[in-house]
């Protein structure tokens, strides 16, 4: 299990990027980390993978402090958003490098995937396209067979077909090796497909974390029209993220959907409809509720 305890990190002594951030990531799940630009997702991944040293707090992996701990790092692999490969290296060279670093590295897996994805293992990686470079990085990461894998902007630049292929591979990997995978992406549709849990970083903290199903069932969209005259106060008992009234029809985004359904059904309504939300909609409404919106800009 990954335990993140009161992590704080600031750059240039200015505002904290992360402040007293704590969360626990259980084993054998795919954890999606979301947040706005500059919210600290990549910084958190870099702290967990021991690239950055936190100003305060610590990260424990299997109850051991991860910072500069070679033994724990042997069980971790990180694919950053901005990829780098040694100049002149081919996929074969890169795989050899990973093999020399990770005990359980599976070379045959690399050959197999390279073959399936039509990647020339003897071709210089620098001559590959952006998407192909990312494929190389993900292939090598998956071939390490480590317990913890971290992907930053996982599928950036990869076409939808190969993206789906990698999603399946990641799910298989998790099932096969009991791997814990943490990934960030701005494409919430992607995370929705494969993540078990989701954490939202906002204002230097984890604003909420939950498993995807609970999250989706907990928040719902309601369209309702009441017989009597009413205003927003009529719904004051509900935890409302968004309220819009067009004529007599009100659109609500409410949290705690069970309680909301019970309450709204009890009202004397002309019609009422409960609609499920996509993860992306949940994220947008959550962020709007937190004051992060740009609708007035355009």
Partner 1 sequence: MNLKMLFNFNFLYQNFKKSKVLLIFLCCIIPFINIWMIYLNLFKNNYVLDFIEISKITSIIAFIFPLILSYILFGFLLKKNVIDFVISKPISRKKIFFTNVLGGFIIIIFIILLNTLGLYLLSLFTKIFIPFEVLLDYFVYWLITYFFVFLVSSLALCLSHNWSSFILVYLIILLIYPCITLINYNFKYRNEKVLIRCNDSSCMPNEVNLGNNDNEYYYEIKHYYSNNLNSLINYYVYGYKNQSLLKTICLNVIYLILSYYAFKNHKMEYSESSIQNVYAYKLLKFITYLPISFICFMMFMDSISFLMISIIICLGYYFVFDLIMKKEFINPIKTLFEFMVVSVVIFCSYFAINYYYKNNNKIIDIPSEIIIEYYDNILNVSSKVLLNNQDIIKKIIKDNNVSDSQNNVVVYIDNNYYKNYYINNYTFQELKKYINNNKLNEKVTNKNIIFITADSNNYINIPLNDNFLNNVISHIDTYKEDSYTSFYLNVYKYENHSLKKMTINVGKNKDLLNYVKKYVNEDFVTNFNNDNDIFCSNIKIEFLDYINGNKSNFLTFLDNHKYDKIQDYAIIFSSGSCNYIIDSKILLKEYGDYGVFKE
Binding site for partner 1 (CB under 8 A): 9, 11-12, 43, 46, 49-53, 68-70, 73-74, 76-78, 80, 82-89, 93, 97, 100-102
Q: Measured from the CB of residue 241, what is the shortest distance to partner 1 in angstroms?
A: 34
Give the 3-state secondary structure of 204-270: CEEEEEEEHHHHHHHCEEEEEEECCCCCHHHHCCCEEEEEEEECCEEEEEEECHHHHHHHHHHCCEE
Taking the least distance from each CB to partner 1, the nearer of 155 and 283 is 155
DSSP secondary structure, 49-90, as one string: TTSSPPSEEEEEETTEE-TT-HHHHTTEEEE-SS----TT-B
Q: Measured from the CB of residue 103, what is the shortest distance to partner 1 in angstroms?
A: 9
Taking the least distance from each CB to partner 1, the nearer of 49 and 197 is 49
Taking the least distance from each CB to partner 1, the nearer of 12 and 228 is 12
> CA 137, CA 48: separation in Å to the nearest integer?
19
Taking the least distance from each CB to partner 1, the nearer of 153 and 218 is 153
> CA 180, CA 146: separation in Å to the nearest integer?
9
Q: Measured from the CB of residue 46, what is the shortest distance to partner 1 in angstroms?
A: 7
> Are 135 and 90 a contacting pair, CB within 8 Å?
no
Q: Measured from the CB of residue 69, what is the shortest distance to partner 1 in angstroms?
A: 8
Handedness of CA 245, 246, 249, 255 (dihedral sign): negative
> CA 20, CA 5: separation in Å to the nearest integer?
7
Q: Measured from the CB of residue 32, what is the shortest distance to partner 1 in angstroms?
A: 20
Taking the least distance from each CB to partner 1, the nearer of 141 and 198 is 141
Q: Measured from the CB of residue 181, what is the shortest distance to partner 1 in angstroms?
A: 15
Taking the least distance from each CB to partner 1, the nearer of 151 and 235 is 151
């Amino acid at each position: 299990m990954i335990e993140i305890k009161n992590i704080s990190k600031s750059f240039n002594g200015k505002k904290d990027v992360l402040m007293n951030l704590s969360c626990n990531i259980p084993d054998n799940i795919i954890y999606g980390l979301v947040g706005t630009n500059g919210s600290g997702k990549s910084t958190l991944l870099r702290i967990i993978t021991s690239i950055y040293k936190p100003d305060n707090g610590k990260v424990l992996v299997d109850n051991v402090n991860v910072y500069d701990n070679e033994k724990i790092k042997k069980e971790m692999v990180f694919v950053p958003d901005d990829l780098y490969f040694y100049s002149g290296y081919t996929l074969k060279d890169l795989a050899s490098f990973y093999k020399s670093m990770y005990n359980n590295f599976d070379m045959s897996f690399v050959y197999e995937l390279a073959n399936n994805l039509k990647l020339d293992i003897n071709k210089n990686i620098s001559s590959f396209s952006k998407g192909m470079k990312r494929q190389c990085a993900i292939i090598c990461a998956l071939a390490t067979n480590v317990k913890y894998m971290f992907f930053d902007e996982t599928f950036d630049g990869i076409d939808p077909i190969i993206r789906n292929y990698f999603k399946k591979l990641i799910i298989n990997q998790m099932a096969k090796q009991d791997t814990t995978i943490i990934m960030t992406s701005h494409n919430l549709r992607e995370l929705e497909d494969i993540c078990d849990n989701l954490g939202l970083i906002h204002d230097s903290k984890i604003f909420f974390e939950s498993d995807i199903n609970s999250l989706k069932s907990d928040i719902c969209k309601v369209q309702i029209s009441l017989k009597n005259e009413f205003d927003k106060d009529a719904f004051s008992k509900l935890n409302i993220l968004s309220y819009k009234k067009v004529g007599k029809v009100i659109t609500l985004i409410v949290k705690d959907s069970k309680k909301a359904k019970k309450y709204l059904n009890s009202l004397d309504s002309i019609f009422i409809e409960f609609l499920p939300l996509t993860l992306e909609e949940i994220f947008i409404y959550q962020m709007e509720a937190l004051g992060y919106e740009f609708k007035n800009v355009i």
